[in-house]
Every structure is written in C-alpha cells, then in structure tokens.
Amino acid sequence: MLTRLAKQVQTSVPDLTGLRVAAIALVTVLSSLYGLRHYGLLEPLELGMYDRWVRLSPELPPDPNLLIVSITEDDLRAQEEWPISDRVMAQLLSQLQRYEPSAIGLDIYRDFPVGEGYEALAEEFAKPNVVTIRSLDTVAGTPPPPASPPAQVGFNNIPIDLDNVVRRSLLYAADPDGNIVFAFSLQLALMHLAGLGINPVESEEQANVVKLGESTFFPLKIDSGAYRNLDAGGYQMLLQYRDSEQVAREISLEQALNGPLEPSWVQGKVVLIGSTALSLQDRKSTPYSPILRGDGQTPGVMLHGQMVSQIIDAATGERQLTTFWPESWELSWLVAWALLACGVAWRLRHPLLLLIALTGGTMIILGTGYLLFINGVWIPIAAPVLSLVLTAAVVITYQSYEDHRRQQIVMRLLGQSTSPEIAQALWKGRDKLLKAGKLPGINVVATMLFLDIKGFSTVSECMTPEKLLNWLNDVLSEITEEVLARDGIVNKFTGDGVMAVFGVPLNHTERREIELDAQNAVDCGLSIGDRLVRINQRCDAAGLPRIQMRIGIFTGDVVVGSLGGKDRLEYGVLGDSVNTASRLESCAKERQPSDCRVLIARETLDYLNNCFEVESWGEMALKGKKQMVEVFHVKGRRDPTVPHSILPEPEKTSVS
C-alpha cells in the first residue's frame, strides 16, 4: 500500500520550484542543442528532412523555356566514338540555330580539337547565343574551348554537400586567378532573360546583392537554414528542383541531328546539350535519389537544366526563391517548443497522454515545416523536435526523482502502510501536503487510539526471542489491518503497544467527518476485540498464556506534521489529546471487564451519535491531568449487523 500511496502523493511543485525546473530544463536542452547545431552535428538530420520535403513537394510540369538534347548510349553507339567529333558537334549546333533558340549551352568539355571540322565548330562557338563550359579548377586540365569568346563561357562546377547530394547551385565565383566567372546555368539564363528585357542589377535592399527581374538573389551564408558546415564561397543559392526526372522536353542527339524538329520546341528556348549515358558517369546524387530507378543519380545536364529553370522562373515571378528565418526567429522557435514541452510534461503524468501530446507536437512541427517549405521558407525541423522531446525528458527525469524523494518522505513519515482511501485523499490534497520535503504542522481534530497488550511479559517468558518477535508481529499485523480498514494510520508501535490516529494526515473540518473518525476508531477497538478471540484460540492451541488488551480512545485538538531533521523524520501527533488517550488506556488497570477493554471519554462519546452501547465509569483522575475526565466503557455496537463500518444517516424522505 505504501507504494500506491507514494505514487499518489505527488505534489504540484510551487511556482518557484516549477520555474526553477523549467529554467534548468531549458538551459540544459537549449545549450546542448546550440552546441550540436554550432558544430554541425544536427546538419545531417536537417538535410535529411530537407530531402524529404523536396520529394513531398508538388512537382511542376516540364519547363516550356527549355529543351534538353541528351547524348544517350544509343547515340554513342551510332557515333562510334567519344568525344563526338568537331564536325558532328558543329553540325548539331548549326541545325539547332536554324530554329532561332534564345541560347544554346554545350555541357561537354571541348578544350582541344576532336577529329575533323574544328574550323566549323569554332564558327558556331563564336555565335552570340552559344555558351560553352570550363572548370574552375584549372589544374584538372579543362579550360574553355579556345575558340569561345570569354563572355560566352561558364563554369559547370556544382556544389556538393558532405553527403554527396546536390542541394545548391553556384551563380558566380572567382577563378584561381581572381577573375569573376559566371556559372554555365547563369550565362544561359541571362541570355534568355535579356531577350525579355530583364538584366541583373544591384539590389536596393542590400549592397552587393543581385536583383534579377522580380527576385532578389540573396547569397547563402555559412549558417543559412539548417546549414552549419556550409562552404559559402562564391555566390550560391539553394537549388529548387522542378521535377524528380524531367525538367524539360528531352530529345536525343540523333533526333536533333536528323530532324526535322517542331520549331516551337526550339524557337526562343534555352537548349542544353549534354550526356545522359551511364557509361560517361556525368551523374550526381540529388534529394530524389532514394526514389529514382537505376543508380538513383541525375545527369549533370539535367541539373544544369534545373538551375536555369529556377533562375528564369525567379526572375519572371513564376517561382519564389527559398528564404530562411533570422537566427533570432529560429531560437524563439526552439524556446517555444521547449516551453511547451515543460508545461505538457509537468501536467500530463499518464505515459499514454504524454506520448500522444509529444507525438502531436512533433506532427505540428513537421506540418509547419512542410507548409513553410512549399511556400519558399526553410526552417529547422530536427532541432525543435529534439527541443520538444529532450525538454520533456528532462522534466520527466526530474519528476521521477521527485517521485522517489516523496516516496522516501512518506516512508519515513507515515510508516509502513496506509489505507487506499487515505492514499486517494492525499492525492486530492497534494497541493498542500508536502512543502520543502516535510509535512507542515496543521491543527486538526482527530481521534487517537492507544492499545497495550496485557500479559505480554508472561507470554515472553514462554518463548525464545525469535519466536516472540514472530508472534508479536502477527498480533500487530492483525491490529494494523483493522486500523487501515477504517482509514486510520498506525503512527507508531510502542513495543507491545500501538498508537493509531483517525482523521489525519488530512484536515477534517466538517463535523460529520470528525464523527466518522471517532466512530471508526471505536469500531476499530471493538473489531480488535473480535480478533483477540481468535488470537487467544491460537494461544490455547500452542500452549501459550492468553492475553488481554486495553484500548484508550480520545477525540480532540492536535497538531500533526513532520518531526526531526533531514537525517531522521517521523510523523508527529502532538497535543494534550494524545496524552489523554494514552492515560485512558492505562487507567484503572485492575478493571478488565472483558479480554479487550475499550475506554473513551465524554469528548469522543459526543461524536458517536448513539451508535454504541457504553457504560459510564464516572469521572476519573487520570495521571498527569489536573481536571477530572468522564470515562465510559464501550460494551458493543448497537447494530451488530454492521461490524466494520459506520453507515451514514439515511436521507429524510417525505411519505404521502
């Protein structure tokens, strides 16, 4: 029963303690999360969630501004050589130019002549709407084609995150010589947008920031979004994927060479030429890789197509670029969920309810993150989820510690057990029960019961100490059961005696409650007498002397609370009423009308409502008492059919 009591006596910690625990939880969790974020340890989780948002986002139809000419495995077999000769490449460019594209981008390195036809290819490269590629890393031996004008060359380097996934694009950067070089995708987009009258300018909102048409292209920073280990060199932006596979209409090299093509496919469009053949290994991982067929990777020319499409759409207002919350907003986002977790974990003690609440909070975080993402805002997700869960864990850990501490307090204060009814009452009054690890002293009207075993010395002479202890424990156990059955508590064992109290530790102020406490105490004394009959029968069978008991009961004012210090505490019941009950038990020892004598005073009799038969012994002088006490001997119950409880008075009803 004590375990049940200890579990139920959970006090609502005062405001100051609650604030202190909340502060500890917040500081612990938020400082830990800050450290994890600062060193990039949460970045893999955040990027994984970013990839999931990309895959869940609505896909857009193929971009009508683009055409992809892909060099497939079939094209390689048809050409019977790689790289494709200058003659064939010149023929391809010439064929496409007939349809008047806005720009043609060749995503194939042509830094040296290949076969015949170099002069024809050089002429095609010189046309103002053709863009070729180079690598920013000149050590790799991939300079631009010698015949290409410098203004029509772009680098095709693609930023790759630490997990080898492409989530960013690079608009421009400095080459090893310090010269500013535009990206391949940016060159193509600018050529197309120039035909629409859209040209890059410096933003009026912020210096050194590019504005292109309807959008301002703010560069990524080292801590943009959930990034913390970002190499933010150059001018980067977060790549928004249009589709998992088909960014634009796609035709093969064979189709482009041999035609005829639908003019609307090419006229005024950006045409990208590049390899999609697996054998050429120009492929990268993307957020879509887990759901794509084959090796799950995307050809480089398709990635450049995604970048061109994003720039054009942003400049024309078709799509908005991804933005990020300021650091202060992200911190507030974390703190808000940590505070919510504190409140939820503090109030919801039931594990299932707490699990439902935390799951609901997590779903709200995920839902908010997704809705913002598809509307162009990327916010941290892993950090607030951890903030929610870890803060709740800290609070729960503290509560577990407090539960254990309170259990120890109850162990020391209320003895080995108490009744389920008292435990339930303690739970209902938990707000006022425990303060600073102690039961505060309160004035109550309670009924005390003192019991002593008469003839214990004679019994002890007949047994070894070990057997005597076992016998005494059996007797005291039966007495305790009767006390607990009537919502009393066993305050202490006094060797061969017992002190029990009815009406504590809760403060009963209503007269009906005090009456019930007194009646329960007297009924308990009589029931102990019934038990004594069976105890003596066992004594007769074991050849032991019979025993008798004296019980004294008194109702009055007492002060109850914890006594002692931190190393030893006990539940104390103090007051003259306690002494009176003790003296009633020990008075007139020579008068033992029955094996179990129950004596009460007038103060208790006034609360019994004539439920018991009593015999007046008159006024008696009790040891240590200056005033005489009117004493009564309880002979039995008036209603013998109710041996273990006192029934409340029936409600009055009208009879017609």
Model confidence over 331-348: pLDDT tens digits? 899 889 988 888 888 788
Q: Does 1 have pLDDT greater than 80?
A: no
- Residue 612 confidence (pLDDT): 95
- Residue 305 confidence (pLDDT): 97
Q: Does 593 have pLDDT greater than 60?
A: yes
- Residue 564 confidence (pLDDT): 64
- Residue 112 confidence (pLDDT): 85
State the Cα–Cα distance between residues 128 and 194, nearest whole angstrom.
Answer: 12
- Residue 324 confidence (pLDDT): 93
> Residue 131 is inside which H or E element, if any?
strand 130-134
Q: What is the Cα Rg of the chain in Å?
A: 45
Spatial contact of 430 and 561, defined as CB atoms under 8 Å apart:
no
Q: Does 13 have pLDDT greater than 60?
A: no
Average pLDDT over residues 453-475: 87
Average pLDDT over residues 546-551: 92
Identify the residue with better confidence: 393 or 603: 603
Phi/psi of residue 425, nearest 5 degrees: -65, -40
State the Cα–Cα distance between residues 91 and 93, nearest whole angstrom.
Answer: 6
- Residue 566 confidence (pLDDT): 59
Q: Does 67 have pLDDT greater than 90?
A: yes
- Residue 210 confidence (pLDDT): 92
249-280, pLDDT tens digit by residue? 999 999 999 988 999 999 999 999 999 999 99
Q: Does 656 have pLDDT greater than 70?
A: no
Averaged pLDDT score across all residues of the chain:
85
The CA-atom distances, in angstroms, between 263 and each of 70, 255, 259, 546, 556 are: 18, 13, 10, 119, 107
Decide: helix, strand or coil at residue 342: helix
- Residue 651 confidence (pLDDT): 43
Place 643 in a pLDDT band, splitting at 50, 70 and 90. Answer: very low
295-299, 491-495, 511-515, 639-643: which has the minimum mean pLDDT?
639-643
- Residue 494 confidence (pLDDT): 84
- Residue 422 confidence (pLDDT): 52
- Residue 512 confidence (pLDDT): 93
615-635, pLDDT tens digit by residue? 999 999 898 888 899 999 999
Residues of 17-45 as b/e, b for ≥16 C-beta within 10 angstroms? eeeebbeebbeebbeebeebbeebebbeb
Q: Does 570 have pLDDT greater than 70?
A: no
Q: What residues contact 167, with CB distance under 8 A and at least 6 apart?
A: 47, 50, 51, 161, 238, 239, 286, 287
Query: Half-sphere exposure of 487 toward its Cβ, with a 13 Å CA cutoff?
Result: 23
Average pLDDT over residues 406-428: 52
- Residue 254 confidence (pLDDT): 94
Residue 60: count of CB within 10 angstroms of its CB:
15
State the Cα–Cα distance between residues 209 and 57, nearest whole angstrom.
Answer: 28
Give the residue from 447, 376, 432 showing the smallest Cα distance to 604. Answer: 447
3-state helix, strand, coil in the chain (%, to 5): 45, 20, 35
- Residue 24 confidence (pLDDT): 77
Average pLDDT over residues 310-321: 96
28-37, 495-504, 522-531, 629-638: which has the minimum mean pLDDT?
28-37
Beta strands in 528-591 (DSSP E): 548-564, 569-574
Spatial contact of 459 and 468, defined as CB atoms under 8 Å apart:
yes
The residue type of 190 is L
96-140, pLDDT tens digit by residue? 999 999 999 999 998 888 889 999 999 999 999 999 999 987 555
Domains and CATH numbers, the chain: 2-42+325-408 (no CATH), 62-317 (no CATH), 438-637 (3.30.70.1230)
Average pLDDT over residues 163-191: 92
Q: Does 459 have pLDDT greater than 50?
A: yes
The CA-atom distances, in angstroms, between 356 and each of 161, 166, 335 are: 36, 36, 21
% of the chain residues with pLDDT over 90: 55
